Chains A and B, each alone.
Chain A
Amino acid sequence: MKSNPEYYDYWPYQNRPKITWPGGAKVAFWVAPNIEFYELNPPKNPHRAAWPQPNPAVPGYSIRDYGNRVGHIRQMELLEKYGIRGSISLSTALCDHHPEIIEMCSERDWEFFSHGIYNTRYTYGMSEQQERDMIKDSMETIYRSTGQKCAGYLAPALSHSDHTIDLFAEVGSELFGNDAGIYTCDLFHDDQPTNIHTRSNKRFVSIPYSLEMNDTIAFVVNKIEPRRYGQMLKDNFDRLYQEGEESGTVMCIPTHNYQVSCPHRIKAFEEALDYITSHDDVWVATGREIAEYYRDNYFDMMKADIDDRVLSLNTKGAK
């Protein structure tokens, strides 16, 4: 175990080189629907229980199933109404269970990125080889079902190992070359994309995927009232839009079809989408598009800035 994962360098939010998004946009805005499959009776993981009750855990299982049966089409049609293509954090077994959902999202040119196989199979306790196999299976499944060379990763149920990000970067390159497996959603340290250290020294980035704006965190952990959640989204956007004048920011809304698509919540969500997309200088994008644009235009510039402003001080200190 380490005291610090050391994926990124300290990089102060002031005086960074200016990012300008396509079309002169101030905010890159993306919505990441988690489309997940939870198993009713998964094998036990010694580090984390999937359900609080013995099988069948009807309350938890059935509301998550609601997301796929009822919530998905609701949210998909809503995003379409506001010109938003979802970037799907996908339990890739869903390609087998519910191919209809994959098809309708493919038709809309949505992005699929890996969220593991099932959201009831945790990374905890896996050997490095097991985790590599699991990640590879998930990326191959996305390719087989959609033709997409998976760009991003969010570990299943946010369960990680010390190797998760390295493995994802490596497997992406092995399967599809260095333009696949290029971004992670697992880190919450910044409002702009940041360069990530991997052991393969790949051009790999973290794309902001806000835990605070995540509907499950908001509704289940923080127990936010639905209309207040809508207001929080608008407030989050307002500040990122304002600061984006100085240098482009990223706003992400991670969603779940069993949370935000419920009848008592979707109206406040829609009001926020309407508000955000009614602004001129917003680049409505996908995770991959943001990662690629940053890699192509800013990765080297930001690396140099970190070297000049921050790491050079460390060297002086060491002397």
Chain B
Amino acid sequence: MALDNSYLQYPERSYGMDHNRYDWSMLAQRKPVQWPNGKKLAVWVNVGLQQFPLDQKGVPFKVPGGMTMPYPDLRHFSLRDYGNRVGLYRFLKAFDKYGVKPTFAINTELAEQNPYLLDVILKREDELMCHGWNMDSLHFGGQEQAAEAELVTKSVQRLREISGQAIRGWISPAKNQSENTPELLKANGIDFHCDWVNDDMPYAFNTNNGSMWSMPLSTELSDQFVLMNNLHSEQSYVEQIIDATSMLAAEADSQGGRILALQIHPWLLGQPHRIAKLEQVLAHLAARDDVWFAHASEILDCYTKQQ
């Protein structure tokens, strides 16, 4: 039987996007922005601090990086936990050595259950972003609205309470959203989210509760995508970031400041055989005189002041 003729009808076929979340706009045609002190490249190092529950529900899908074996999948549970116990402290040493200002996207449940870890981050005066409740608490199309509203509120408000920070940014677990996630984030006072990987610069994102910002946190360049999804070598990870750095800095010459966003995870790059590669990347960036290491909110504020 042939398809219904509606399959050849195109109700959204008109100027701009096929939805109302943001306006159609080409990066190269926007007004250039300037970073402080004439720097070309804002470097946003975003560390995912994640809790993967052993009793993963996997609704509506198994989160990438989560449990894959029958219960109890101790290998994946403990290997992810390794990042928060061991890998993170290797990261912190490296950040301090190279003068990096990291931003930490944390699952609120992890922050709540590990006051020592939270305290370490808070003492550094680095920025915390909310990364949802835990890695198995997904946001997805068709999710019951009240349940998602409770999940967002609990995740954001509880993190504010225990950290004392404003908590302006959000990354969904698996960077997946429901139809309502942006409205719920805005209603909870979130200024920016990082799930939509469609730009290299911030842009205005519409919600029914008012406008917020989308910040460009590349998935393609994340350690998880390069090393775990693509199975590229650690050396290739370094090369990809170095190539991206020189490309974006060159583009900044004619188009204004650019952002290099590195999404990294201590359970991956914090391993003994990988940490030197992260250090190599950070050393490369720190040696450039056109790099501005900054927290996510600092970059966004600098950008929005020029709009």
Q: Interface of A with B (CB < 8 Å)? A: 37, 39-41, 43, 45-46, 52-59, 61-66, 68-70, 72-74, 93, 96-101, 117-118, 121, 125-127, 130, 133-134, 137, 219, 223, 225-228, 262-268
Contact = CB atoms under 8 A, between A and B. Distances in A.
A113 to B, nearest CB: 19
B190 interface: no
B45 to A, nearest CB: 16
Contact of B18 (A40, A69, A99, A228): A40
Given A62-B198, A130-B2, A263-B244, A227 B236 contact: yes
Contacts of A39: 12, 18
A77 to B, nearest CB: 8
A63 B219 contact: yes
Interface stretch (B3-11, B32-40, B267-275, B293-301): B3-11
B141 A65 contact: no
Contacts of B243: 226-227, 263-265, 267-268
Contacts of B60: 53-54
Contacts of B27: 69-70, 73
Nearest to B19: A40
B240 interface: yes
Given A99-B15, A264-B221, A264-B241, A59 B199 contact: no
Interface in B1-31: 2-3, 5-8, 10, 12-19, 24-29
B3 A130 contact: yes
A97 B10 contact: no
Contacts of A227: 236, 239, 243
Contacts of A97: 13-18, 24
Nearest to B229: A223
Contact of B26 (A64, A69, A226, A268): A69
A37 B239 CA distance: 30
Interface centre among A40, A63, A225 (most CB of B within 10 A): A225
Contacts of B10: 93, 117-118
A83 to B, nearest CB: 20
Given A53-B140, A225-B236, A126 B3 contact: yes
Interface of B: 2-3, 5-8, 10, 12-19, 24-29, 60-61, 140-142, 174-179, 195-200, 218-221, 229-233, 236, 239-241, 243-248, 251, 260
A266 to B, nearest CB: 6
Contact of B7 (A45, A62, A137): A45
Contacts of B246: 267
Contacts of B245: 263
Contact of A56 (B174, B179, B240): B179
Contacts of A137: 8
A265 B240 CA distance: 7
Nearest to A65: B198
A249 to B, nearest CB: 30
A72 B26 contact: yes
Interface of B is mostly: loop
Interface centre among A70, A100, A130 (most CB of B within 10 A): A70
A134 B7 CA distance: 10
Contact of A225 (B14, B177, B221, B233): B233
B219 A96 contact: no
Nearest to B25: A69
Contacts of B8: 121, 126, 130, 133-134, 137
A58 B247 contact: no
A69 B199 contact: yes
A131 to B, nearest CB: 9
Nearest to B16: A97
Closest 8 CB pairs of A and B: A54-B141, A127-B2, A263-B244, A264-B240, A65-B198, A264-B244, A73-B28, A62-B198
Contacts of A69: 24-27, 198-199
19 contacts: A45-B3, A56-B141, A57-B176, A58-B177, A59-B195, A61-B198, A62-B196, A66-B198, A70-B28, A72-B26, A74-B251, A97-B15, A99-B15, A100-B29, A126-B3, A126-B7, A130-B5, A264-B240, A267-B246
A118 B13 CA distance: 10
A262 B221 CA distance: 9
Nearest to A267: B243
Nearest to A268: B243
A70 B14 CA distance: 20
Contacts of B197: 59, 62-63, 66
Contacts of B142: 54
Contacts of B6: 43
A128 to B, nearest CB: 9
Interface centre among B175, B200, B246 (most CB of A within 10 A): B200
Nearest to B6: A43
Contacts of B233: 225
A121 B7 contact: yes
Contacts of B231: 223
A264 B220 contact: yes
A54 B198 CA distance: 19
Given A97-B18, A227-B236, A66 B199 contact: yes
A97 B12 CA distance: 9
B299 to A, nearest CB: 16
B230 A223 contact: yes
Nearest to B258: A263
B230 A263 contact: no
